[in-house]
Amino acid sequence: MEMLQSFYSASGVGLMSWGYAVMIAIGIVFVTLAIVKDYEPLLLLPIGFGIMVGNIPHISSMALGVYDKGSVLYYLYFGVSQGIFPPLIFLGLGAMTDFSTMLSNPKLVLLGAAAQVGIFLTLIGALYLGMTPNEAGAIGIIGGADGPTAIFLSAKLAPHLLGAIAIAAYSYMALVPVIQPPIMKLLTTKKERLMRMKPPRVVPARERIIFPIVTFLICGLIAPGSLPLIGMFMFGNLLKESGVTERLANTARTGMIDIVTILLGFSVGASTQASHFLTPQSIKIFVLGALSFCIATAGGVLFAKFMNLFLKDENKINPLVGAAGVSAVPDSARVVQMVGQKEDPTNFLLMHAMAPNVAGVIGSAIAAGVLWTVLVR
């Protein structure tokens, strides 16, 4: 009988608390959203299952958790805590990305830059709430709606908040189709949503090859902190556009990025142990993250309207396109297409929206580099 009692007290059932139960329920919700609603399943499914794995209680001497040195999860999480996985994700994204639409209409880059306003306004808000500059910088980057960038920066500036920031960033990425449309409709008129944009020009191969090299050099010199992300992003794009390394590009955008996504999502989910995650600070992070994302969306839309004041009629921008300035690629661009086609089924905005969308990826990486460069001192 004593042996049974000892077994029970050391089991997950015996060690279960309300905190672990809540986190397991959150993990189940994430998995359900991924499977039933198809919300970012490649991210939410591994994160959700990781949350469940990370919140099965165990005695500390067994060393099973992410924070238990020597455990399997500890070594998987090493790629997250040391910022290894995010640059590898960027390498794969670069090999997938086509910058043609952005190069054909360079002024749309400004929309990607304008959407980063959410990052810096939220940083100010976090400082006002009493957080340290490093914590504020890590939380603000959520507004870029770029999970790998948020993980990379929080690992450098505020590793103790990494789990909450990562979950918040990926949650808002998954909820792009829910969060963005009301803001887009609120800030635009029906006439603006019906605006058509002229087709983009064909971009020659030489421009597409030169672009990643020049962009890397400019961004690296301005914000050295962005080198790991921008460097890998542009390297991946050069593999794609060079025409001589198709095998490497194909590996980067398929097998490699899939493996890293699995490891990243699962280990981030497993890091959300109730004792580390269920804190008042986590609630602040989710609230500030939502605010940051909403401001970023509004910033892109409003800046498109501002630009139209100075553009000729044939060059005007449909303000909906500005919402794609956040770097949730390609979900924000798809949302722009969806909202636009509800007003006019024959108006195709996707190719135009991809320009600020990929510019937003660059913008959020540069913003992360600037914050790291400034705050690391």
> SS3 letters for the chain?
CHHHHHHHHHCHHHHCCHHHHHHHHHHHHHHHHHHHCCCCHHHHHHHHHHHHHHCCCCCHHHCCCCCCCCCHHHHHHHHHHCCCHHHHHHHHHHHHCCCHHHHHCHHHHHHHHHCCHHHHHHHHHHHHCCCCHHHHHHHHHHHHCCHHHHHHHHHHHCHHHHHHHHHHHHHHHHCHHHHHHHHHHHCCCHHHHCCCCCCCCCCCHHHHHHHHHHHHHHHHHHCHHHHHHHHHHHHHHHHHHCCCCHHHHHHHHHHHHHHHHHHHHHHHHHCCCHHHHCCHHHHHHHHHHHHHHHHHHHHHHHHHHHHHCCCCHHHCCCHHHHHHHCCCCCHHHHHHHHHHHHHCCCCCCHHHHHHHHHHHHHHHHHHHHHHHHHHCC
- Tell me, what's the pLDDT at 200? 84
Q: Residue range 96-119: average pLDDT?
A: 91
- Chain length of the chain: 377
Report whether pLDDT(72) > 70: yes
- Tell me, what's the pLDDT at 132? 92
Long-range contacts of 330-336 (CB under 8 A, 24+ apart): 330/354, 330/357, 331/40, 331/173, 331/176, 331/177, 332/145, 332/176, 332/180, 332/357, 332/360, 333/357, 334/177, 335/176, 335/177, 335/180, 335/181, 335/184, 336/184
- Tell me, what's the pLDDT at 10? 65
Computed over every residue of the chain, the mean pLDDT equals: 90
Q: Residue range 364-369: average pLDDT?
A: 91
User: What distance in Å separates the CA atoms of residue 206 and residue 190, rounded to the nearest whole number?
Assistant: 40
pLDDT band at 323 (very low <50, low <70, confident <90, very high): very high
* 355: its two tokens: 């320009």
Share of the chain above pLDDT 90, in %: 58
Report whether pLDDT(1) > 70: no
CA 3 to centroid of chain Cα atoms: 49
- Tell me, what's the pLDDT at 279? 85
- Tell me, what's the pLDDT at 189? 93
Tens of pLDDT along 157-205?
998 898 889 888 888 888 888 899 999 999 999 999 999 998 888 899 9
B/e letters for 156-175, b = 16+ CB within 10 Å, e = fewer, are bbbbebbbbbbbbbbbbbbb
Say what the pTM is: 0.91
pLDDT band at 140 (very low <50, low <70, confident <90, very high): confident
Count of alpha carbons within 13 Å of 259, Cβ hemisphere only?
9
